[in-house]
Amino acid sequence: MQPLVVELGDRGYPIHIGPDLISRPDLYAPHLAGRQVLVVTDEAVADLYLAPLRQALRDREAASLVLPGGEAGKTLDAVSRIVDVLVERRFNRSAAVVALGGGVVGDVAGFAAAIYHRGIRCIQVPTTLLAQVDSSVGGKTGVNHPKGKNLIGAFHQPVCVIADTRALATLGGRELRAGLAEVIKYGVLWDGAFFRWLEDHLDGLLVHDEGLLGHAVRRSCEIKAEVVSRDEREEGVRARLNLGHTFGHAIEAGMEFGHWLHGEAVAAGICMAADLAARMEWISGGEAERVRALVRRAGLPDRGPAGLAPDTFLRLMARDKKVVDGGIRLVLPRAIGDTVLTSDFDPCALAETLETCRADIEPPFFARARP
């Protein structure tokens, strides 16, 4: 199948989507300038996919580094470990980093590629749904700071993205659902027809139907590629991709990174954004309920944690990178399929959302509580 393309002039790149792509040497070769390649991955992914990837790179001088998995590992220390290997192996400016794994590996390895020798090539090989539909595309790289999510980072576009949809077959249920949160996000923020398609096909997606997952990845990447091509540095329309993230990042930080998966926090955040928009009558109560219903059917949280008091929640939201002159800006729906970044929301309505949208139930128990 033809790759999608992120159109960024001479920094544009293909996104290959399909089954059994990890082991295809022909997808890597055109994007490697030299012989030196460092594959960065995590423990769980290494067991499954490091061998076929190394086989695809067998004519290169390939090294690998296996990091511990999980959001708690998205640190400057992990970046430092990658840079140490690049230095020890005397990798030069024509070397490349291949990020094999989920969002954490992609962000950390991408950031190391962004800063080593002021920038070397990076190929993203995402193996989770979340990484395939969002974090591997668009060049956002970085790590968390104890005070906030993704506070340290750089834009560094990959030279190629290889999304092997067969890798999704080995994804655990919780990881799959967390990825579906980002897929649902595209329906709410950009494409009402895709949201309807998700309502119709969610049950198949939840049982790992390969054809349906392939379509979901492709449509999500089409939207992401279009948005990034129009606004690489998030000076305009790209901010809309942060739907649910100001709420979500506050949940992740407030509950200590790693307790809630990123996608779980984003799911709750999308529902809270819809709740706020409905309170201000930007969308109807029926539309907000459609969003909540799809999120719940996906086994994802439609509210934040009861343990996060509204004033703490608000304080954490104020650390968001979209804050300007101390004012919180939120991405809010104007319809299913249309959103806007705005500071022009009713603070009383936001206070009501933060007070009302709280649940006692915590990850990873949502799926069991499905209606």
Positions that interact with ligand GLY (CB under 6 A): 134, 138, 140, 234, 238, 241-242
Helical (H) or strand (E) element with 231: none
Least Å from the CB of residue 238 to ligand GLY: 5
Q: Which is nearer to ligand GLY, 165 or 220 (CB)?
A: 220
In the annotation, is 242 catalytic? yes
Least Å from the CB of residue 162 to ligand GLY: 18
Q: Where are the alpha helices (DSSP H) in the chain?
A: 25-28, 43-45, 51-56, 76-88, 103-115, 129-130, 173-189, 192-206, 210-230, 245-254, 262-279, 285-297, 310-317, 347-356
In the annotation, is 234 catalytic? yes
Q: Which is nearer to ligand GLY, 95 or 263 (CB)?
A: 263
Least Å from the CB of residue 100 to ligand GLY: 20
Residue whose entry in the numeric block shows the structure tokens 């800063």? 115
Q: Which is nearer to ligand GLY, 32 or 228 (CB)?
A: 228
Q: Which of 149, 177, 262, 296 is catalytic?
A: 262
In the annotation, is 140 catalytic? yes
Asked if 273 and 332 touch (Cβ cutoff 8 Å), the reply is: yes
Task: Provide the 3-class DSSP secondary structure of residue 138.
Answer: coil
Tokens of 132: 């395939």
Output b/e per residue, 244-262; b: 16+ Cβ within 10 A.
bbbbbbbbbbbbebebbbb
Tokens of 293: 């219903």
Least Å from the CB of residue 240 to ligand GLY: 9
In the annotation, is 118 catalytic? yes
Say if strands 61-67 and 13-18 run parallel, antiparallel, or are unpaired.
unpaired
Q: Which of 240, 249, 279, 329 is catalytic?
A: 249
Q: Which of 182, 252, 264, 287 is catalytic?
A: 182
Q: Which is nearer to ligand GLY, 45 or 137 (CB)?
A: 137
In the annotation, is 249 catalytic? yes
Contacts of 179 (CB under 8 A, 6+ apart): 128, 129, 130, 131, 132, 133, 171, 263
In the annotation, is 144 catalytic? no
Q: Which of 149, 150, 242, 292 is catalytic?
A: 242
Q: Which is nearer to ligand GLY, 85 or 328 (CB)?
A: 328
State the catalytic residues: 118, 140, 182, 224, 234, 238, 242, 245, 249, 262
